[in-house]
Structure 1
Amino acid sequence: MAAGVYNQAIGAFQSHSLVNNFNHQQKFNNIGRLVVTKDFISSNCLSRKNFSVIQCIASQTSEVDTASSSSRSKTSARDTHTKSNEAALILVRHGESLWNEKNLFTGCVDVPLSKKGIDEAIEAGKRISSIPVDLIFTSALIRAQMTAMLAMTQHRRRKVPIIVHNESEQAREWSQIFGEDTRKHSIPVITAWQLNERMYGGLQGLNKLQTAERYGKEKVHEWRRSYSIPPPNGESLEMCAERAVAYFRDQIEPQLLSGKNIMISAHGNSLRSIIMYLDKLTSQEVISLELSTGIPMLYIFKEGRFIRRGSPIGPTEAGVYAYTRRLALYRQRLDDVLQ
């Protein structure tokens, strides 16, 4: 148990370092280090809460990017009485993968996008091209990362998404960006295994129709659509939700509270888990929730509440920007600057 808590604490600390490192580029030997031992954690009952992200990315202002805040929180934004800035939260399930195309159980196998999936990712980018994005979170799997990167090629701000590497001292030092102007025109991309698709265990790589013939349609449906029953040696939706929602609360929600506009590119089950939390769905309601590949969903985070706004229809669709005055002003500034 102590080892599990140790890994959670280190993971949260590293995620905090990812965000902080991108905007405060320094030689690693000048950065103060935190040394945590298993004995220290075990004796002090350290939890994820102690390592919640409490320092958000330094705001970078321009004539278009005006939203910023220095608010910090050690608890979930829903549990605080601090008034927050309005922020946009975009959720997008990755485009079709090569194994989706072949109707295979994919789970945590790292499979890239298909040609259709690439097109879906680009179309998703067009739909959100006038919605501000300050920070991107993706799973550790390539299909989610490809979707985020391809989507951002369509954004009207033309900022470059850059994956932040914090897995080692050398990775941190070698991936530094020294140009101040270059940093201002970049968007940090943070990858997290906690946002991965649920692990399908012994089903991964099997054809879905053949698996139904082998085990029976009812049994396979139970594995795929029940909340608490996992497939053989795999994760249930409940288990996936435990890690995905904990990561969202600890690492992503504080960024929204600070006024950062966030995009999450992830998977059907990890996103269903997060939507269950955002919309306060029951376990019965979430199992019937279906998410299409490559279709972004927009939430507005304001005063500790998540307001679901649905999906933008296309790059010329105006309705979604009328949901809030701030989004309308952002789009108008884009029109003025880029026309």
Structure 2
Amino acid sequence: MGRLVLLRHGESQWNLENRFTGWVDVPLSQRGMQEAKNAGDKLRGFTFDRAFTSVLVRANETLRIVLEAIGQTTIPIEKDKALNERMYGELQGLNKAETAKKYGDEQVKIWRRSFDVRPPGGESLKDTAERVLPYYARHIKPYVLKGETILIAAHGNSLRALVMELERLSREQVLELNIPTGAPLLYEFDQNGNVVSHRYL
């Protein structure tokens, strides 16, 4: 039985400051480092065959802290920008509350939570899914089908795109999906690659 653990990075400095982060390389906050350590504690019973992460430092640092905590620092790790956070374009670096005052709460909610509406100069969740899902199918799913245990450290929206696929969520359902920072989400698969269970650890 293949197992896949999805882990959104710990709180970043811009999460703390309530800013749109996107592809800007922002480090973990002190709380984010602790969240990563806590995730490591929850994953102590797992033996991972390999790990995947984005190229952004907050996901890389989360993965490093987790693997150190569970004593598995020598497993193969593949980094790829396909797993990067959604690119927020002109909103990157802006405070979310100030952006809502400028454009209106409803418009900002549409940019943040709709499936196929892009923020100015940025990506929609649909755009994000169009890079995440082919990468998953080519580079990660074959290992799951072999029965391996895989860890992905990535981001709120890249993981939302993947969860939408794994759980067969509708466009409407994915709008309300929120993946918390530092909370490992375990999926177990049968030999055909179908999800048989999923839960937060």
CA distance in 2, matches of 1:143, 1:307: 30
Moved over 2 A (4+): none
Corresponding residue for 2:63?
A: 148
Corresponding residue for 2:42?
A: 127
Corresponding residue for 1:236?
A: 124
The one-letter amino acid paired with 2:27 is: P
CA distance in 2, matches of 1:309, 1:228: 26
Structure with larger Rg = 1
| Superposed displacement of residue 255, structure 1 | 1.1
CA distance in 2, matches of 1:261, 1:268: 21
Corresponding residue for 1:273?
A: 161
| Superposed displacement of residue 188, structure 1 | 1.0
Q: RMSD across aligned C-alpha pairs, in angstroms?
A: 0.9
Out of 238, 245, 249, the residue aligned to residue 133 of structure 2 is 245
Unaligned runs of 5+ residues in structure 1 are 1-85, 161-185, 313-339
CA distance in 2, matches of 1:251, 1:202: 31
TM-score, reference length from structure 1: 0.58
Offset from partner CA, 1:139-175 (integer Å, 9 cap, x none): 11010011111011221xx221xxxxxxxxxxxxxxx
Structure 1 residue 257 corresponds to structure 2 residue 170: no
Corresponding residue for 1:118?
A: 33
CA distance in 1, matches of 2:200, 2:46: 12
Answer 1 or 2: higher relative contact order, Cα 8 Å, separation at least 6. 2
Corresponding residue for 1:103?
A: 18
CA distance in 2, matches of 1:303, 1:258: 8
CA distance in 1, matches of 2:171, 2:197: 19
Unaligned runs of 5+ residues in structure 2 are none
Q: How does 1:1-339 map to 2 (within 5 A)?
A: 86-155=1-70, 158-160=71-73, 186-304=74-192, 305-312=194-201
CA distance in 1, matches of 2:146, 2:191: 11
TM-score, reference length from structure 2: 0.97
Provide the aligned length of Structure 1 versus Structure 2: 200
Offset from partner CA, 1:3-40 (integer Å, 9 cap, x none): xxxxxxxxxxxxxxxxxxxxxxxxxxxxxxxxxxxxxx
SS of equivalent to 1:275: helix
Identity of aligned residues (%): 46
